[in-house]
Amino acid sequence: MAEVSRLPLVVAEEWDWQLHAACRGVDSGLFFHTDNERGVARERREEQAKAICSRCPVLRECRNHALSVEEPYGIWGGLGESERRELLRQRRRARRSAHVG
C-alpha cells in the first residue's frame, strides 16, 4: 500500500481561503502599485486596499501566506511591502536570538 503522507496536498485545500476573501472580484490593481506610482497616490491606493483587508474574514490566512512565501509586492493580509519586510526581519532576529541564548 502506498504511503499517502508523502503525496502532495490537493491544491484546493491550501487555497480555499481565497474563496472567502473580501478582495475577491476587486480589481487587483488596487493591491499592487504601478512602476511610477509614488507619494500621495500610492498612499491613497494602499489605504483603500487595506480598508478592504480590514473587513476580510480570511485576513489572517492571507497574511500568513504572504509572510510564509515572502511575497515581495502588493498589499496582502492588510500589510504593505515594507510592513511585511519588517515583520520578517523581526522574526529572523528573534530566531537568531533564540539560538544564541
Binding-site residue ranges: 23, 53, 56, 62
Contact 50, 22 (CB under 8 A): no
Q: How far is CA 23 from CA 1, 6, 40, 94, 96, in A?
A: 43, 33, 22, 32, 36
> What residue numbers does the annotated binding site for [4Fe-4S] cluster cover?
23, 53, 56, 62
DSSP secondary structure of 21-88: -TTTTS-GGGTS--TT--HHHHHHHHHHHHHHHHT-TTHHHHHHHHHHTT--SS-BTTB-HHHHHHHH
